[in-house]
Structure 1
Amino acid sequence: MPVLENKDITLNYVTFGDSRNPALIFSNSLGTNYHMWQPQIDALQNDYFIICYDTRGHGKSSAPKGPYSLDQLGQDVIDLLDHLNIDKAFFCGISMGGMTGQWLALHYPNRFYHLMLCNTAAKIGNEAAWIARAQLVRAQGLDSIAATAASRWFTEGFISNHPDIVNALSDTLAASSSKGYASCCEALAVADTREQLKDIDVAITVVAGTEDPVTTVADSQYMVDHIPNATLATIDASHISNIEQPQVFNQTIRKHFA
């Protein structure tokens, strides 16, 4: 699989579809990897040139010494687009990936046709809780975080009906880089775009899961209320809405990126 050797990071990425189609880049959530986008890859690769990558510290990307910053997470995307000679793309990021998308919309609006920010917020959680989680993971690893992840990611019904999917994602989290995960927690601890949302000058769709306990519909509505050109879309799902409701999620992409 191709990698981008860049600055302090070896970034793992993969592309699907015809490079003559409009580019669409996906950005994963904390504790996952690019494979979380398989339902979107399968459905959309005939219409888009799809680019997936593992966020630094995740998957097969390297985990350089942290803490990381939102600036680094966003700049990795721009450097990857430059590496692929892509001037402009669509963007879809979920949770942490949605925070990355906000940074991109603020700093590089001319590089994107439209950004979809999913199951995210202008400020996710609070600094003390993120720092405590980072310290826990650095000391004890990811097993305890992985053991409780499903309840934060999915509704009870989905957990009951799709144990294979849930267990695979939990296993991926448990096997992830503790150092990389903790360093991303430290980035999220201080990431806060609330005062900057008004300056976003590119089309935005904010996707909220109606059952999401982590980043709520109210968090999404706040973003829509403060971003000049933003639209809210809701999906009957919890935090990882692209996996819980893939068909609806894919339809949302098609509708808003049309």
Structure 2
Amino acid sequence: MPTSTTLLQTPAGAFRVAIDGPEGAPVLVLSNSLGTTLEMWDAQAARLARDHRVLRYDTRGHGGSVVPPGPYSFEQLGGDVLALLDALRIERASFCGISMGGFTGLWLGVHAGNRLNHLVVANSAAKIGTEDGWRTRAALVREKGVAAMAELAASSPGRWFTDGFVAAQPQVVQRAQSWIAGIVPEGYAACCEALAQADLRADIARIAVPTLLIAGAADPVTTVVDAQAMQAAIPGAQLVQLPASHLSNLEAPAEFDAALAAFVA
């Protein structure tokens, strides 16, 4: 069944959003990874919308949301979440983000913790990758455009999933590849540039929101060691390891949903 979405106008631009669950229920915001859309959260939205008002959105530069020229920053990406909450008159929400979305959550935890009830950071790190690596990728995507996005889609299964999952669930993998292939090159490159300069390692000790960290045991991008470093830095943070690679909500949905639902209950 297709996801029902709408364009929400904010001072930061127009964002494609999906809202599920009963009005008046506690709000849970779900934030996508680099190269995906809000559809990556379909399974989580279906489960969590029983008890929560679930707000999903396409990150700036992705899907049907605004694609201004880059570079972007996490001050913008975090500010976009606050703009969405303000536009919907939501004072506080729980937040769950994966990878790039997880870093957005860390930024919110540091800079806008008063707006959060719970923070869930999945398959992320206080610094993801290297500045050179991200800037090189951004330049390649700008140079080659749609062809570069097709190449990234072709190579994405090895970064996102374990080999066993790729073999066993080709439809899920192909759907994920279709998301990245459809991203506007400028939006993708501009988010790469946000990741290039993003480093919260010295700041996350200030996070006072109840925090859950989710790590994929086989994640080569943001490792269990990255999650353990965040757990050591964030007061009281909990850590759950899942049998998955980088997109753990797609590879281990039952375990992911159980951990998320228990934490935000």
Query: What TM-score results when the alignment is normalised by the length of structure 2?
Result: 0.95
Aligned to 1:224: 231
Paired residues, what number? 258
Aligned to 1:203: 210
Equivalent residue in structure 2 for 1:117, among 101, 121, 140? 121
CA deviation map 1:28-66 (0-9, x unaligned): 000000000001011111110000000000010021011
Matches of 1:182 and 1:256 in 2, distance apart? 33
The offset of 1:248, in angstroms, is 0.5
Letter in 2 for 1:219: D
Aligned to 2:241: 234
Letter in 2 for 1:168: R
Does 2:219 align with 1:215? no
Unmatched 5+ stretches in structure 2? none
Unmatched 5+ stretches in structure 1? none
The offset of 1:78, in angstroms, is 0.6
Letter in 2 for 1:203: P
Checking the alignment, whether the CA contact within 8 Å between 1:8 and 1:64 is kept in structure 2 is no
CA deviation map 1:54-97 (0-9, x unaligned): 00000100210110000000000011011111111111000000
Letter in 1 for 2:165: F
Identity of aligned residues (%): 46
Checking the alignment, whether the CA contact within 8 Å between 1:202 and 1:229 is kept in structure 2 is no
1:84-233 correspondence to structure 2 within 5 Å: 84-141=88-145, 142-233=149-240
Matches of 1:226 and 1:248 in 2, distance apart? 25
Q: Which runs of 4+ in 1 moved over 6 A?
A: none
Matches of 1:65 and 1:74 in 2, distance apart? 17
* DSSP-derived class of the 1:13 partner: strand
Matches of 1:37 and 1:10 in 2, distance apart? 20
Equivalent residue in structure 1 for 2:68, among 64, 70, 80? 64
The offset of 1:239, in angstroms, is 0.2
* DSSP-derived class of the 1:214 partner: coil
Aligned to 2:81: 77
Query: What TM-score results when the alignment is normalised by the length of structure 1?
Result: 0.98
* DSSP-derived class of the 1:152 partner: helix
The offset of 1:8, in angstroms, is 4.7
The offset of 1:18, in angstroms, is 0.6
Aligned to 2:56: 52
Matches of 2:48 and 2:208 in 1, distance apart? 26
Letter in 2 for 1:210: A
